[in-house]
Amino acid sequence: MDSDMTKYCYQHFENAYNIGWNTNPDRIVGSEERFNPTFIEKLTAYCENPLNRDLNGKCHTIEIDGKKYVKGFGEIRIIDKKNKIRYAAPNMIIDDILDGKYIPPTEFIEAVLTGPTFASEEYQEFYLNYSEKNFWGETKEDFEKIVKALDLLEDFEGFQDYILDNNMINIVTPRGSLLNYAIIEGKEKEALWLIENGIDMNAFDGLELMTAIRNNSNVIAKTLIEKGIVTHGREMKENPLVSAIRFSNDFLVEELMKNCRNLIVTYSNEYVRDCSILDIAKRTKNENIINIVKEYT
């Protein structure tokens, strides 16, 4: 759940857009391509002062004078004043850029160039107030609006009016999107209303479908699939078909097998070799699931 321009949800949910978590394997920066030196200088300052340090974060092994070191494990935030949004990136993004492994979007480059420097008073105020109690960077006004919206989930009509009147359908809550929050809370009517009223289902890269599967919310999951929620089979852990199989949800296994053929993949990594969707199904020992998978493969 970390494609460029999707919402951040790695260590927590946050109203910030992902940048640079995945490299660009199909394109290498040629020697004729150069980035503005000011961009490199300003971005380096951010990367040298990371936040959200995490030993499971993105890192690189480097070699200096014959000795190997590991660097990274941190994140940065860039304020885009023009578009009034923030970007979340690993502090290793500068290495990927300089090594020619990643080319950031134009919007990100412009935000670094035109936004407040790391040492500026504006940025330091944001940095000091960046905490869980503020929903990771929200203003006091937006924080209060989010809290009220969540409270109104117990009052369907009041919830509808408040969301529409304040244009808040795509806010980020401590549990992700409003849709993700509603699914977790078992609010099926509210979740379906959000979908029908145009909530961005793909802001979190298809997370809501995974949540619906985990919560056995078949009606919501089917609606998301029909509405075209993004689905990924890149990794086993983010493949909704794998999740549906493991939760023995034969209804959703069939829905996904029929409608999301991109999820029928074979995995090979340090843990498995040539592991197909059928192999995963067989591990459940659920004959109904196994037969459904066989039917569509």
For 185-243, how does the pLDDT look when each residue is reduced to its tens digit (9 = 90+)? 999 999 999 999 999 999 999 999 999 999 999 999 999 999 999 999 989 999 999 99
Q: Which residues contact 196 (CB under 8 A, 6 or more apart)?
A: none
Q: Is residue 8 part of a domain?
A: no
Say yes or no: 82 and 152 in one domain: no
Q: Is residue 25 part of a domain?
A: yes
Amino acid sitting at position 210:
M
Boundary residue ending a domain (134, 156, 181):
134
Say yes or no: 287 and 144 in one domain: yes
266 pairs with which residues across the strands? 276
Query: Residue 219 is part of a domain; what is its CATH number?
Result: 1.25.40.20
Say yes or no: 27 and 89 in one domain: yes
In the structure, what pLDDT confidence band is assigned to residue 129 with cuts at 50, 70 and 90?
Answer: confident
Amino acid sitting at position 286:
N
Q: Is residue 227 part of a domain?
A: yes
Dist. CA 18–CA 159, nearest whole Å: 29
Say yes or no: 43 and 124 in one domain: yes
Q: Is residue 103 part of a domain?
A: yes
Query: 138 or 179: which carries more pLDDT confidence?
Result: 179
Average pLDDT over residues 244-251: 97
Structural domains of the chain, count:
2
Q: Is residue 232 part of a domain?
A: yes
Specify the range with the lowest mean pLDDT, choosing from 2-6, 21-25, 242-246, 261-265. Answer: 21-25
In the structure, what pLDDT confidence band is assigned to residue 54 with cuts at 50, 70 and 90?
Answer: confident
Q: Is residue 2 part of a domain?
A: no
Say yes or no: 171 and 289 in one domain: yes
Say yes or no: 97 and 171 in one domain: no
| 252-277: b (≥16 Cβ within 10 Å) or e | bbbbbbeebeebbbebeeeeeeebeb
pLDDT at 28: 53
Say yes or no: 66 and 198 in one domain: no
pLDDT at 64: 77
Say yes or no: 270 and 181 in one domain: yes
DSSP assignment of the chain equals: ---TTSBP-SSS--S-EE-SSS--TT----TT----HHHHHHHHHHHTS-BS--TTS-EEEEEETTEEEEEE--EEEEEETTTTEEEEEETTHHHHHHTTS----HHHHHHHHHS--TTSHHHHHHHHH-SGGGTTT--HHHHHHHHHHHHGGGSHHHHHHHHHHTT-TT-EETTEEHHHHHHHTT-HHHHHHHHHTT--TTTTTTHHHHHHHHTT-HHHHHHHHHTT-----SSGGG-HHHHHHHTT-HHHHHHHHHH-GGG--EE-SSS-SSEEHHHHHHHHT-HHHHHHHHHH-
Q: Is residue 46 part of a domain?
A: yes
Q: Give tens-digit pLDDT for 279-296.
A: 999 999 999 999 999 999
Boundary residue ending a domain (83, 104, 134):
134
Instruction: Determine contact, residues 79/123, Cβ cutoff 8 Å.
Output: yes
Q: Which residues contact 141 (CB under 8 A, 6 or more apart)?
A: none
Say yes or no: 277 and 228 in one domain: yes
The whole domain housing 193 covers 140-296
Q: Is residue 246 part of a domain?
A: yes
Q: Report the Cα 53 to chain-centroid distance in Å.
A: 18
Boundary residue ending a domain (118, 134, 150):
134
Say yes or no: 260 and 147 in one domain: yes
Is residue 25 scored above 60 in pLDDT?
Answer: no
Say yes or no: 145 and 49 in one domain: no
Q: Is 291 exposed, middle or buried (0-12, 13-18, 19+ CB in 10 A)?
A: exposed
Say yes or no: 212 and 93 in one domain: no
